Structure 1
């Protein structure tokens, strides 16, 4: 079976929750983000120009998507 981390598109390899740091896949990251009401870092990869965003909140993500649609 292929290791789950091969599917991770997150470039933040320094994060202790990155799937390369453990064998639990994306679950720890998703749990943290749900608790903090934030979007996982990898979701921002879908929106060009979000590297310098203010934060990872649901609102930050929604605003980024809406800006790209205009």
Structure 2
């Protein structure tokens, strides 16, 4: 199994979570990029409020940009 010590994803039932296979972050990143989204770890790193949330409802590039811009205020 790939090293998952740093992974912050709380959605353990997701088949792309690095805990559920031996390909590290590759599967998660691939599916997110194909969907025009970012992995939840980006959102968790940018927002203290999202650190314990299991599923990020909107993981689009736009949602991430808004999060970053709102956190700069």
Q: Does 2:67 correspond to 1:64?
A: yes
TM-score under structure 2 normalisation?
0.80
* C-alpha RMSD over aligned residues: 2.1
Q: Is there any run of 5+ residues in structure 2 with no aligned partner, and where?
A: none
Larger RCO (CA within 8 A; separation ≥ 6): 2
Partner Cα distance (1:3, 1:32) in 2: 18
Contact 2:7 2:18 in 1 (8 A): yes
Partner Cα distance (1:55, 1:67) in 2: 15
Find the counterpart in structure 2 of residue 6 from structure 1: 5
Question: How far off its partner does 1:53 sit?
Answer: 6.0
Find the counterpart in structure 1 of residue 21 from structure 2: 22
Question: Which stretch of structure 1 is more off in the superposition, 5-14 or 30-39?
Answer: 5-14
